Amino acid sequence: MKELAVSADQTLAFETNCHIFDGCGFPAPGLHSFKFEPLFTVGGIDFNKPMLLALLGTVTIVWFFWAAFGRAKVVPGKLQMVGEAGYDFIRRGIVYEALGKRDGEKYVPLMVSIFFFVWIMNLWSVIPVAQFPVTSIIAYPAALAAIVYVLWMSLTFRKHGFVGGFKNLTGYDKSLGAVLPLSMTIEFFSNVLVRPFTHAVRLFANMFAGHTLLLLFTIASWYLLNGVGIAYAGVSFVMVIIMTAFELFIQAVQAYVFVLLACSYVQGALAEHH
């Protein structure tokens, strides 16, 4: 399962021993770097690398919280302390800030689950052997954004009714006068169509771009490892280290932003329309 360990670009560069001045072209990363052949089939379902990482990430999160809180103690152990710190950070730092304690408490479990799922899906990018961010495949952010979208819409119409919900989504304000129809049309498309799209794409695009850059500098380090290119290979390897550190920061930030936006949508659904 060589494709499980490295991307197609890296496999090509390493297995063919492709270096500069050897007469071979630079195996630049591209869309093909995000395509994976099925590793095996179970029940008619083909499982590839991103799917396995998503399943492994899910199992890891469930195991961690089960181990941390399955037998919670008054005096917490190390694992429980880490779990409580992460849970409390999402609860107080995001959910309570956006929704308030009274309205937000019921949404804390969902937001904590989304945060840690997105984070570990991002984190696979810099974990040896895995080396691929699952959220760089648009289907995964889109599925998460769809969950938030369904929650947002259901809360909007349950809270305000059909007419009130429509006004909430379109920003109805009769004081706008003649520009009200135009304003409502823009708000409708912005809220109902654009928001879920940008919610998914923001996460996807950042992880896609970050992984592409990591691939670029990693492959370049190997490709330039020949003759006078060795000096440039060293520079490229330093960039790999810098980009890896930067990716660790971005991965956490993107998980934070995704949940923050989800909370803001819920807050908008629960807010009273004037």
Measured distance CA(237)–CA(171) in Å, rounded = 51
Rounded-to-integer distance, Cα 48 and Cα 228, Å: 39
pLDDT for the residue numbered 179: 87
**Residue type present at position 271:** A
At 50, the pLDDT band (50, 70, 90 cuts) reads: very high
In single-letter form, the type of residue at position 137 comes to I
Q: Which two tokens stand for residue 146?
A: 């769809």
Q: Each residue of 125-178: pLDDT tens digit?
A: 999 889 999 999 999 999 999 999 999 999 999 998 999 888 888 888 888 788
Count of domains observed in the chain = 1
The pLDDT, as a whole number, for residue 205 is 96
Range in 28-32, 88-92, 110-114 with the lowest mean pLDDT: 28-32
Average pLDDT over residues 30-50: 88
- Quick one: DSSP state of residue 164? H
Query: What is the pLDDT at residue 191?
Result: 87
Q: Are 9 and 131 in contact (CB under 8 A)?
A: no
Domain that holds residue 160: 2-270
Q: How confident is the model at residue 5 (pLDDT cuts 50, 70, 90)?
A: very low
What distance in Å separates the CA atoms of residue 112 and residue 255, rounded to the nearest whole number?
10
E strands, the chain, in order: 40-42, 45-47
Nearest in space to 56 (alpha carbons), one of 136, 1, 129: 129
Two structure tokens written together for 194: 């654009």
Q: What is the DSSP string of 11-36?
A: HHHHHTT--TTTT-------GGGG--
The overall average pLDDT reported for the chain is 88
Mean pLDDT value across residues 50-56: 95
What pLDDT, in 10s, does the model give residues 224-247?
888 777 888 899 999 999 999 999
Q: Do residues 164 and 218 touch, judged by C-beta distance below 8 A?
A: no
Q: Which two three-digit tokens encode residue 144?
A: 């998460």
CA–CA dist 52, 49 (Å, integer): 5
How large is the angle between the packed helices 139-170 and 180-188, nearest 10 degrees? 160
The token pair at 210 is 């970050």
Q: How many CB atoms lie within 10 A of CB 36?
A: 18
pLDDT reported for residue 178 = 85
Sequence-separated (6 or more) residues with CB below 8 Å from residue 80: 68, 69, 72, 73
Retrieve residue 132's tokens: 């691929």
Cβ contacts of 109 within 8 Å, gap of 6 or more? none
Residue 41, φ and ψ in degrees, nearest 5: -125, 130
